[in-house]
């Protein structure tokens, strides 16, 4: 390891979870806390359900190996752990957990449980640890010491005073749900002898922003965001942020006019420096809007009976909207495409490194190369009640997926020059349910054996 990561003391928080039910998880706080941590990029699930929803397994106890992994992610240090080669004396660490255990061991945050009889040590990654140790590590993460500030076997006495816990202990067992609740509460606790909180420290380290943390607090409190109504492209761009629910007033919105104000490099750099979540990205024949690092964003069109919402752009090399490293994104009731038909090298919607994306009641049309492109580790895409039409290559391109399910329900694919492309297999599933395929789309998919088709309609020659 080449640089320090003092925040990794918080690794030890989750090394102490045990079995069965818990007072924290039972009161319904576990799921919102897990979702809030996930929105900050701090908490990963154990898989996904058929609907694409992340599964956290909050009611079971994790192993020591899982706990170390969960803490690395909780601290936003996963890429750091994976970027180093770590040496440990342990002979029994699963291969997938080696980077996480190695990082924790290098910083003196975890030790073995005894010799393996062959000169090495055992880590015993399948073992569970108790709630007292869990809370002890939380307190150490906040700068407190069990040598004088508190007794490790009564750690809840101090966590109660700090507001991290609320009298749930002693008694009860620790689960992954408890870990989520306590971990999120610890983010708001002050560090010892400081007015700064753990969240302040992580924000200063660039793990997340203040706005993202405020949005996460609303998620943890299960508070729905107040909708924001917008009536221009400028207002839309300014409203995009984590947790935002944006309602676009009926009308036609041409991104080209807005982007034209930033045709110079100086103007683009000034805009990008002032906006954390929306960037203006130059392309060969203009520019495109890129939404990045946003979780929990919803954008929907106003009432369709009053004309609906259409969003267009002119540059042929630009996507209408591009999303980078986003999660929990929902788009609904929007017509999107380029201003004119013809040759194109941009897509309508681009999702790069995004997860849990929902598109509903959309009308996506060419000349875009693809109506929807999901790539660079994107996962869990759901498209329903939508039309993708007249694209120069096909309705969608799905490549380099990161697991989960890609599902199209009650959709129509028609008029495109090709059928689209899917470049993933294995753990990632592609499902079409009650979808209608045009001629080119039928030719591509009618006899495909890699996807699942349920009650679909084909165009016969």
**For residue 165, which phi and psi values (nearest 5 degrees)?**
-125, 170
* 5: pLDDT strictly greater than 60: no
* 1: pLDDT strictly greater than 90: no
196 domain residue, yes or no: yes
Q: Which helix (H) or strand (E) holds 92?
A: none
CATH number of domain containing 255: 2.160.20.10
Q: Are residues 235 and 365 in the same domain?
A: yes
What does the alpha-carbon distance between residue 265 and residue 421 come to, in Å, rounded to a whole number?
Answer: 35
Q: Are residues 150 and 298 in the same domain?
A: no
The label of the residue with tokens 């954390």 reads 276
Answer with the one of 201, 220, 239 that is the final residue of a domain. 220
Instruction: Give the Cβ contact number of residue 399 at 10 Å.
Output: 14
166 domain residue, yes or no: yes
- Domain count of the chain? 2
Q: What's the confidence (pLDDT) of residue 437?
A: 96
388 domain residue, yes or no: yes
Q: What's the confidence (pLDDT) of residue 13?
A: 41
Q: Are residues 161 and 250 in the same domain?
A: no
Count the helix, strand and coil residues of the chain and give each as a percent rounded to the nearest 5: 30, 25, 45
- Confidence class of residue 233 from pLDDT cuts 50, 70 and 90? very high
Contact 12, 71 (CB under 8 A): yes
The per-residue pLDDT for range 434-453, each reduced to its tens digit, is 999 999 999 999 888 888 99
Q: Are residues 184 and 249 in the same domain?
A: no
pTM: 0.63
What residue numbers bound the domain in which 105 lies?
A: 6-220
Which whole number is the average pLDDT over 115-144? 78
Answer with the one of 178, 203, 220 that is the final residue of a domain. 220
Q: Are residues 72 and 158 in the same domain?
A: yes
1 domain residue, yes or no: no
* 306: pLDDT strictly greater than 50: no
Contact 121, 172 (CB under 8 A): no
- Confidence class of residue 171 from pLDDT cuts 50, 70 and 90? low
Contact 255, 311 (CB under 8 A): yes
- Confidence class of residue 72 from pLDDT cuts 50, 70 and 90? low
Instruction: Give the Cβ contact number of residue 93 at 10 Å.
Output: 23
Rg, the chain, Cα only: 24
**For residue 373, which phi and psi values (nearest 5 degrees)?**
-120, 130
Apex 353 CA angle, 351 and 358, nearest 5: 50
More confident residue, 386 or 84: 386
Q: Are residues 46 and 173 in the same domain?
A: yes
CA 208, chain centre distance (Å): 13
Residue 170: asked if its preceding bond is cis (omega within 30°), the reply is yes
Q: Which helix (H) or strand (E) holds 137?
A: helix 131-141
Q: Are residues 88 and 206 in the same domain?
A: yes
Q: What's the confidence (pLDDT) of residue 447?
A: 84
* 4: pLDDT strictly greater than 80: no
Q: Are residues 233 and 216 in the same domain?
A: no
Mean pLDDT of the chain: 83
- Confidence class of residue 27 from pLDDT cuts 50, 70 and 90? low
209 domain residue, yes or no: yes
Answer with the one of 220, 246, 273 that is the final residue of a domain. 220
459 domain residue, yes or no: no
Residues in the chain: 461
Which whole number is the average pLDDT over 388-408? 88
What does the alpha-carbon distance between residue 244 and residue 249 come to, in Å, rounded to a whole number?
Answer: 16
Q: Are residues 446 and 395 in the same domain?
A: yes
Q: Are residues 126 and 204 in the same domain?
A: yes
The per-residue pLDDT for range 378-393, each reduced to its tens digit, is 888 999 999 999 999 9
Q: Are residues 186 and 276 in the same domain?
A: no
Share of the chain above pLDDT 70, in %: 87
416 domain residue, yes or no: yes
Q: Are residues 195 and 249 in the same domain?
A: no
Give which of 293, 203, 282, 204 is closest to 240, Cα–Cα.
293
The per-residue pLDDT for range 354-379, each reduced to its tens digit, is 988 999 999 999 887 999 999 988 88
460 domain residue, yes or no: no
């Amino acid at each position: 390891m080449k640089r320090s990561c003092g925040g990794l003391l918080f690794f030890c928080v989750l090394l102490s979870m045990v079995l069965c039910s818990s007072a924290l998880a039972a009161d319904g706080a576990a799921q919102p806390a897990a979702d809030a941590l996930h929105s900050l990029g701090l908490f990963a699930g154990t898989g996904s359900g058929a609907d694409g929803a992340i599964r956290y397994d909050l009611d079971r106890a994790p192993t020591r190996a899982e706990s170390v992994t969960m803490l690395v992610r909780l601290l936003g240090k996963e890429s750091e752990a994976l970027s180093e080669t770590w040496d440990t004396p342990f002979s029994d660490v699963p291969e997938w957990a080696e980077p996480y255990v190695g990082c924790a061991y290098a910083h003196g945050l975890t030790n073995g449980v005894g010799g393996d009889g062959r000169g090495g040590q055992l880590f015993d990654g399948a073992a569970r640890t108790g709630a007292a140790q869990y809370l002890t590590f939380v307190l150490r993460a906040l700068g407190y010491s069990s040598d004088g500030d508190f007794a490790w076997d009564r750690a809840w006495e101090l966590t109660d005073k700090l507001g991290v816990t609320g009298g749930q202990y002693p008694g009860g067992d620790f689960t992954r749900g408890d870990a989520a609740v306590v971990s999120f509460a610890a983010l708001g606790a002050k560090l010892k002898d400081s007015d700064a909180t753990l969240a302040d420290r992580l924000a200063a380290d660039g793990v997340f922003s203040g706005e993202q943390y405020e949005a996460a607090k609303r998620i943890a409190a299960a508070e729905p965001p107040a909708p924001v109504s917008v009536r221009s492209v400028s207002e839309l761009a300014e409203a995009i942020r984590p947790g935002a629910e944006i309602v676009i007033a009926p009308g036609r919105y041409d991104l080209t006019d807005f982007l034209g104000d930033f045709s110079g490099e100086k103007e683009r750099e000034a805009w990008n420096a002032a906006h954390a979540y929306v960037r203006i990205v130059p392309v060969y024949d203009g520019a495109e809007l890129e939404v990045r690092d946003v979780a929990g964003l919803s954008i929907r069109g106003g009432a369709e009976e009053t004309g609906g919402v259409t969003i267009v752009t002119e540059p042929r090399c630009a996507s209408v909207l591009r999303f980078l490293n986003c999660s929990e994104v929902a788009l609904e009731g929007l017509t999107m495409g380029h201003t004119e038909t013809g040759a194109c090298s941009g897509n309508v919607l681009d999702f790069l490194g995004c997860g849990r994306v929902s598109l509903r009641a959309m009308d996506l049309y060419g000349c875009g190369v693809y109506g929807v492109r999901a790539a660079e580790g994107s996962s869990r895409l759901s498209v329903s009640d939508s039309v993708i039409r007249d694209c120069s290559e096909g309705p969608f391109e799905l490549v380099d997926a990161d697991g989960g399910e890609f599902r199209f329900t009650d959709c129509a694919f028609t008029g495109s020059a090709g059928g689209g492309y899917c470049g993933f297999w294995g753990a990632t599933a592609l499902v079409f349910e009650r979808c209608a395929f045009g001629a080119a789309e039928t030719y591509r998919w009618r006899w495909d054996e890699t996807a699942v088709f349920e009650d679909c309609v084909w165009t016969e020659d």
